[in-house]
Structure 1
Amino acid sequence: MTAKCFDILLAALQTNPVFQNDSNLPQMPVAAQLAIGLYHFGHYGNAISTTMVALWAGVAYGTV
């Protein structure tokens, strides 16, 4: 995915209510959530695990 396509997709998703939170705990930025999701979706089977995605993204295993 090109950076331009990522930005267009991010702009389309950013205002979706699923990314809004009334909690005292802030959500991860939408751009980071999107990047992690796309990275995970781009791999399948034994090629990827949530641990590998977490290591790639620099986030906790439970975050993925």
Structure 2
Amino acid sequence: MRWWKVLGVAGFAGVAATGVLIARDERRRLAYTPQEVRERLRARHAEVAEAETPTRSGHRPR
């Protein structure tokens, strides 16, 4: 019956570690100002738009 205790402790540790990672990610996300978010979105959009632009032959690069 001891292995049940070890399994329970391991499960608890996994849940706690996941909570820590989620909290850290949330703090990092909330640290951006609205202007920084806009700039990042515009930069990502420009990258995607550039990648989707067809070449002279009419084929998109892969």
Higher CA-based Rg: 2
Higher-RCO chain (CA-CA 8 Å, sequence separation at least 6): 1
Task: Say which structure is richer in helix.
Answer: 2
Please say whether Structure 1 and Structure 2 have the same fold, judged by a TM-score greater than 0.5. Answer: no
TM range (shorter): under 0.3
Query: Structure 1 length normalisation: TM-score?
Result: 0.27
